[in-house]
Amino acid sequence: MPPEARFDTPAWHGPGARSRRRQAFRWSALVWSLVFPPRQHRIAPTVSGLFLIALALGIGTAAYNTASNILFLTLALLLACLLLSGLLSWFNFMGVRWRVRAQAPWRAGHEALVTVETVNGKKWLPTYGLWFDLETRTANRVGPDDDQVSVREALAAVDKATTRVRLFLRERMEPAGGESRLEWVVRPSQRGVERVELTSVGSFFPFGFLGKNLGANVCQQVLVWPAQVEYQCWLGTVAAGRAQGERVPRAGAGDDLMALRRYRTSDSHRLIHWKASARLQKLMVRQFSAEAHESFWLKLETSAAVWTRPGQFELLCSLAATMAEDLFAAGKLRGVKVNAQPSVTIRQVRDVEAFLDELARLEPVDDGGRTPPSAISDSGVAPLPSRNIITFAPEGACGVAAYVDGVKTAAA
Amino acid sequence: MSTESKRPQLSLDELRLLKWLLGGALALVSLWTVFFLDVEALSLVSLASLAVVAVLIWPQLPARVPGFVRWLSVPALIAVLVGDFYLSPETLPPLIRLAILLVLYRGVGYRQRREDLQLIVLGLFLIVVAGVLTVALGFAFLLLLFTACALVFLFVVTLIETKETGGGTADSLPATGAPAWTRLGWRRFFGRLAEVADWRLLAFAGSLFAVVVVLSGVLFLIIPRFEIATGFFLDRYITKKSRTGFTETIRFGDVAELISDETTALRVDFSDPAARPGNPYWRLVVLDEYSREGFKISAAAKAELLRSQRVTAYLRGRRTGSRAAGVGGQWTFYVEPGVSRFLPLPGNFEMLRLRELLPLQSSVSRLVVALRTEPMTMTAYRLEGVQLAGEIADVPPARPPTGRAAAAGRSETSALPQSLQLPAGADNREALQRVVAEIRGGEDGATGLPAEEFARRACAWLSRRHAYALSVTLPSGDKDDIVRWVESNQPGFCEYFAAAFTVLARAAGYPARVVAGFHGGTWNAVGNYYQIKNSDAHAWSEIHTGRGTWLRVDPTPGGGLADSRAAVQTAMARQGDRSWSARLDSLRIMWYRRVVSFDQRTQTEMAEQLKSLTADSGQAVRAFLDRMMARLRAWLAGPWNWARAGRVAGGTVLAGAFVWLIWRGREEIRWRWSRLCQRGRVDPVRREAGRWLARIGHRIVPAERQAVHAGIVTDLQRLRYGPRSSWPEPGAVFRRARREGGAGRCTATGR
């Protein structure tokens, strides 16, 4: 998922989501949809509904056996109530639209918010008692991929990687645009691509006889960044014994105001110059001169031959992500490089986020044990310097260590 | 979760209180249906209703009941059921009483969803049983009321369940103490209900319920019917006592007791209202055996009824006498439960059809038809080929009794011996003979005085001697009551007159018998049917003419009614009753006609009517089109000249232009129509001001124009949001706004 797509507004779904070209109403289509419901549309009787059907059958049998018109009348009334139930249920869903917002990015171990926004587009009638079945599933982590895994184990792995919840609309949704927001707090356990899906929308409305389910199939993919880890760092000690780093002109948090410039996405809101923004009718931010400081490159090599243990590899991702954020916060992150990909200079927050996105998807690469070239330059990006490069290597059975030019500087 | 709501909503506790209210209403409605039944449970129903009302008003009451009482209630219910079954000779009444107790048990306790559903099912059971056993119109109203309550009740239950499942606190029954919602208070609750009520939703709910009622009616009509009925089963498990006294034995005073009963006994529906009788007599039972207490059905008649019993849905009758007395069409009788097991008959008939197979008894010699037992429900049957003559054919029984000689004298029929029975005792007979001689006036009745003449003289003698009154004081003496009354000058009512005439006729040698039934009735002009009340109960006599017929003789002065009342009733019968009570009662006949009597034949007839209606409509449309085409052809075939052609061409062009204009401007018309529809919701001045505010309100203007701009914006805001009294002149403000808008555009484009 590109970072730009992170704040895209999701589309509306449901009966009230108007397509550009509205389909003409046809009775035949309506009748056919009643006979053969659309895919994933289900109407199932509840326990009380089954009881009502059994009651209707009993009264009908008695009516035929006795030719009593009173029983026929009661039977007709029961059937009419069942039809009314279906009609009201149809009214309840009519004109309702919904969308799912999963505010990306997520972070493993941190709480994230999934929001279901619902709007009642009916003109006169409110909507009651909807429920929304949501689930999240790690898309790229189904389970062990070797052939020895049985189907049951695979299903169990899928089930374990899936979190389900049913959100209920407790309040009445007013007609003519009444809105409702249902929130679900999720805590993803591991990094990766998380699939947030609204599987169905249902209701027992109005009498609890029938449970009507509309298959929603609203899906959104969210990247889960690696979890933050505790690590020991000796970077200051290492840097103090070295020559001073290069001076780079960049927008940073230095003391000296360099200029004002237009706001760009991912700029900190603290840097907005409100007076200038008000005067010029556009958002302006303060640009400070960069200071001379030590800057480092993070270099990740994820050879499957080196990172043989999955847990250790996860720790690598977490350590790299945490160090990247910490170094960026300290203004000491110059750039990153992942395997054979081009090195990327880090200038803004969005660059760090792109790196975290990359870490979310990162997998061990099978390079046959060859070590990739240490510095590959690419057009438009800075070449990897010969010093101040942080590399990572397994440490012990489950630890990971970071090295700066061969000197151990951090460990987790 | 957050929800933006515009209108207030009931909280969870308020919904629970509403559910409590509706549950109580359901319990009460279902309990009240038992009042239709005669199951000796009225006191139980009253107590249960009081208890339900009490806990309805004070919802905290159930919490004060000790826990052990709740624990003991179920075993107590079982014990009551077993005892009731053991002591009661019938099956259904104990079941109904058990259902009442269960409704009470569920109605006075705090309920969860399962108990709510149980309450609905129990209530439905009571209502259906009452409806099936009584076939009363009130059942339909109570069923509709129950359905409406149950639907709202289920709706509220579903809302509560959604709220509880979605994060609300579940309404678990507290171990001790009352739930929180019981302390809300009814005044506050009804205030909240009024606050959250939306008339549009209420109207919509009412419309939907009307749709349900109509839909259920349509379903009722189209549900296929099959004739597989073998008689209803519930009525076998319950019996009911007759209310009218029309049983095998009628003592003096039984019929007179009914005069004060204004409830309806039967209704008679005519397929041809023009053929309705003017002064009908509805025969129920023929009493031909005399006893000291009164007349009763003879043993021979009972035996004939028993011999003729068979399960059938129709009975063939006989037409006798002149064809002129025949009445066309079909007469449908709806006899209320509790009237009698004998079916009212206006006279001879060709065919009697029942709605369903029933055990039927008949006595052709006495023209009496009876059910085996007294029905618990309304009994409907149809007569075809009714004959309204005052004479009834004297038909011998199907299997004449052996060992009984024909009656002495002029009678050749076997039904006559009982019809000559006199009060025992010489003094009784002497007294009767003395009176008979006075009536004859010296003529020999056995040879020269026909039965009709004797009847006329006897009636005249009785009218001269006795007045009509509902209270009778008999003189003391050893003779039979009726003989003492004949000898006295005391007033009497129809039973005394009929009995006196009968014994006098018998003493004179004419076979005679007493007939009990109804006389007259009210013609309901709203529903076009006869309504006969229990107060129309009457007794009269039949005397054998000696020509194979029985002649009806009504010796009661005024036909058994007081003169003024008779006059009113005759007028009513002639002109028809259109009072409000008649309108209400016509609902009942509609219920009987359209619902209770609906069967496979009616369904088939309805389908055929629908088919013919469709065919007729199609033919009518086709004929109309043919006529129009013929006129068009005739018009086209007319002489053409330039003027006519020009008029036609001009008209065609104008019509085409009109259609073209409508077609071109359809979007404009639609838009203007929508604006016209929306007009009135928002004041047009405010709407216009809002439009100008949106256009120029946030515009950045040069410093030299800011003061003017701010003034215009302020005026526009005042027009948009301010009270009408503070408005500046709208037209001037809009003109300034228009200029300001133009100036703004010029500034923006740099001109």
Inter-chain touch B596–A59, beta carbons under 8 Å? no
The token pair at B633 is 């052809």
Q: Which of A207-216, B189-198, B250-259 has the lowest mean pLDDT?
A: B250-259
Mean pLDDT of the region B554-565: 65
pLDDT at B680: 56
- B516 or B4, higher pLDDT: B516
Please check the confidence at residue B623 and state whether its pLDDT lies above 90. yes
pLDDT at B427: 85
pLDDT at A277: 93
Please check the confidence at residue B235 and state whether its pLDDT lies above 60. no
Distance from CA of B170 to the nearest CA of A (A): 13
Residue B304 CA, chain-centre distance (Å), reads 36
Q: Report phi then psi at B286, rounded to 5.
A: -105, 125
Q: Which of A232-236, B21-25, B308-312 has the lowest mean pLDDT?
A: A232-236
Number of Cα atoms under 13 Å in the Cβ half of residue B445: 26
pLDDT at B656: 95
Please check the confidence at residue B660 and state whether its pLDDT lies above 90. yes
What CATH number labels A3-225? 2.60.40.10
Partners of A131 on chain B (C-beta within 8 Å) are 162, 166
* Per-residue confidence band for B432, with pLDDT thresholds at 50, 70 and 90: confident
pLDDT at A219: 84
Q: Are B234 and B32 in contact (CB under 8 A)?
A: no
The token pair at A134 is 């949501």
**Any B CB within 8 A of A178 CB:** yes
**Any B CB within 8 A of A132 CB:** no
Mean pLDDT of the region A72-87: 88
Mean pLDDT of the region B701-709: 84
- B417 or A265, higher pLDDT: A265
Place of tokens 């990909």: A341
Portion of chain B with pLDDT greater than 90, in percent: 11
pLDDT at B20: 92
Distance from CA of B162 to the nearest CA of A (A): 6
* Per-residue confidence band for B3, with pLDDT thresholds at 50, 70 and 90: very low
CA distance B499 to B324: 31
Cβ neighbours of residue B101 closer than 8 Å, sequence gap 6 or more? B44, B48, B77, B80
- B322 or B576, higher pLDDT: B576
> What DSSP designation does A126 have?
-
Inter-chain touch A70–B132, beta carbons under 8 Å? yes
pLDDT at A244: 45
**Any B CB within 8 A of A116 CB:** no
> What are the tens digits of pLDDT across the range A162-197?
888 888 888 888 887 888 888 888 888 888 888 888
Mean pLDDT of the region B3-24: 80
Mean predicted lDDT score pLDDT of chain B: 81
Dump the DSSP string for A34-87: HHSPPTT-EEEE-HHHHHHHHHHHHHHHHHHHHT-HHHHHHHHHHHHHHHHHHH
> What are the tens digits of pLDDT across the range B470-513?
777 878 888 888 888 888 888 888 888 999 999 998 888 888 99
Q: Are B518 and B537 in contact (CB under 8 A)?
A: yes
> What are the tens digits of pLDDT across the range A3-35?
444 445 678 888 887 655 556 667 887 788 777
Q: Which of A86-90, A256-260, B136-140, B147-151 has the lowest mean pLDDT?
A: A256-260
* Per-residue confidence band for A292, with pLDDT thresholds at 50, 70 and 90: very low
H-only helix segments in B12-91: 12-32, 42-57, 61-64, 67-87
Please check the confidence at residue A63 and state whether its pLDDT lies above 80. yes
The size of the A-B interface in CB pairs under 8 A is: 162
Of the partner residues B147, B162, B700, the one whose CB lies closest to the CB of residue A77: B147
* Per-residue confidence band for A110, with pLDDT thresholds at 50, 70 and 90: confident
* Per-residue confidence band for B627, with pLDDT thresholds at 50, 70 and 90: very high
Mean predicted lDDT score pLDDT of chain A: 78
Portion of chain A with pLDDT greater than 70, in percent: 81
For chain B, the structural domain boundaries read 12-169+179-222, 249-394+416-421+495-598, 682-749
Please check the confidence at residue A357 and state whether its pLDDT lies above 80. yes
Mean pLDDT of the region B574-579: 74
* Per-residue confidence band for B567, with pLDDT thresholds at 50, 70 and 90: low
Distance from CA of A208 to the nearest CA of B (A): 6
Locate the DSSP E strands across B443-567: 512-519, 522-524, 529-533, 537-544, 549-553
The closest of B408, B348, B336, B332 to B374, measured between CA atoms, is B336
> What DSSP designation does A173 have?
B
**Any B CB within 8 A of A206 CB:** yes
Of the partner residues A170, A178, A206, the one whose CB lies closest to the CB of residue B167: A170
**Any B CB within 8 A of A67 CB:** yes
Give contacts of A 366-405 with B, CB under 8 A. Answer: none
Of the partner residues B158, B226, B229, the one whose CB lies closest to the CB of residue A205: B158
Inter-chain touch B158–A129, beta carbons under 8 Å? yes
**Any B CB within 8 A of A410 CB:** no
Whether pTM > 0.80 for this model: the answer is no
Of the partner residues A64, A124, A131, the one whose CB lies closest to the CB of residue B200: A124
> What are the tens digits of pLDDT across the range A251-274?
555 566 777 888 877 777 888 899
pLDDT at B239: 56
Distance from CA of B744 to the nearest CA of A (A): 18
Residue in chain B nearest A170 by alpha carbon: B163
For chain A, the structural domain boundaries read 3-225, 232-248+294-411, 251-289
pLDDT at B622: 94
Place of tokens 């006899």: B335
Residue in chain A nearest B597 by alpha carbon: A69
pLDDT at A23: 61
Inter-chain touch B228–A67, beta carbons under 8 Å? yes
Please check the confidence at residue A213 and state whether its pLDDT lies above 60. yes
Dump the DSSP string for B616-673: HHHHHHHHHHHHHHHHHHHHHTS---HHHHHHHHHHHHHHHHHHHHHHHTHHHHHHHH
CA distance B82 to B292: 45
- A239 or B645, higher pLDDT: B645
> What are the tens digits of pLDDT across the range B44-74?
888 999 999 999 898 888 888 887 887 888 8
pLDDT at B393: 76
Report the residue of B135, B198, B220, B355 to disrupt the A interface, i.e. the one with the largest count of A CBs within 10 Å: B220
Please check the confidence at residue A80 and state whether its pLDDT lies above 80. yes
Dump the DSSP string for B193-214: HHHH--HHHHHHHHHHHHHHHH
pLDDT at B158: 87
Partners of B4 on chain A (C-beta within 8 Å) are 174, 178-180
- B682 or B605, higher pLDDT: B605
pLDDT at B482: 87
Strands B512-519 and B281-287 turn out to be antiparallel
pLDDT at B652: 94
Partners of B1 on chain A (C-beta within 8 Å) are 167, 169-171, 180-183
Dump the DSSP string for B357-416: EEEEEEETTTTEEEESS--SS-EEEEEEEEE--SEEE-PPPSSPPTT-PPPSTT--STTS
The closest of B284, B376, B280, B392 to B337, measured between CA atoms, is B376
> What DSSP designation does B535 have?
G
* Per-residue confidence band for B650, with pLDDT thresholds at 50, 70 and 90: very high
